[in-house]
């Protein structure tokens, strides 16, 4: 999948809340529980299904956290892969409709 085309959306099965700048995320399907650091929280919050990951990294990460873009992109992809393997983020090369609990 070419990197430019990665779209991410939050799953409808999750619960999430910020606690002192860090996001707590729990997947109700298997009760996996994560806390995300500030950078990961920024990606998670921007996961609207229609902004490409590369754009999220450029606008939300590189600018705000002053990090190198290649490194940030690689870290973001690893983070996205991990959260998607736990069913917390949905990943596609097509824009995704954000899932709301039905």
Partner 1 sequence: MSLMSEVGQKAFNLGVPLAVHMDVTYRCNERCVHCYLDHDDHGEMTTAEIKDALDQLAEAGVFFLSFSGGEVFLRRDFFEIVEYARRLLFNVKIKTNAVMIHEKEARRIRELAVDTIQISVYSHRPEVHDAITKLPHSFERTIKAIRFLHEQGVRVTIANVLMTVNSSDHSGVQELAAELGVQYTLDPTITPMMDGDTSVLSLRIPGEELTEVFHNPALVGSQEEFCAPPKPPSEEDLEGYSCSAGHSFCYISPYGDVFPCVQFPLPTGNIRQQKFLDIWNLSPELKKVRSIQAKDLTVCSSCSHVSSCTRCPGLAYMEGSMRGPSTADCEKSFYRTGVPTANMLQQGLSKPRTLSGNPAPLIQIRPIAVPA
- 28/78 with CB nearer partner 1: 28
Report how far residue 94's alpha carbon sits from residue 90's, in angstroms, rounded to the nearest whole number. Answer: 11
Residues in the chain: 102
- 85/93 with CB nearer partner 1: 85
Q: Cβ 100 to partner 1, closest distance in Å?
A: 6
- 2/21 with CB nearer partner 1: 21
Q: Cβ 1 to partner 1, closest distance in Å?
A: 27
For residue 70, count CB atoms less than 10 angstroms from its CB and return exposed for 0-12, middle for 13-18, buried for 19 or more.
Answer: exposed
- 7/34 with CB nearer partner 1: 34
CB-CB neighbours of 73 under 10 Å: 20
Q: Cβ 84 to partner 1, closest distance in Å?
A: 17
- Chain centroid to Cα 11, Å, comes to 10
Nearest to 54 by CA among 37, 78, 36, 70: 70
Q: Cβ 35 to partner 1, closest distance in Å?
A: 6
Write out the residues near partner 1 by the rule CB under 8 A: 12-20, 24, 26, 28-29, 31, 33-35, 100-102
């Amino acid at each position: 999948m070419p990197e430019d085309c990665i779209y991410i959306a939050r799953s409808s099965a999750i619960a999430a809340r910020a606690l002192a700048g860090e996001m707590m995320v729990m997947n109700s399907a298997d009760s996996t529980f994560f806390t995300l650091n500030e950078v990961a929280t920024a990606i998670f919050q921007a996961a609207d299904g229609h902004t490409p990951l590369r754009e999220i990294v450029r606008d939300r990460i590189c600018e705000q956290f002053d990090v190198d873009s290649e490194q940030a992109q690689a870290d973001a992809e690893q983070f996205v892969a991990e959260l998607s393997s736990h069913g917390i983020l949905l990943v596609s090369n097509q824009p995704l409709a954000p899932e709301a609990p039905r």
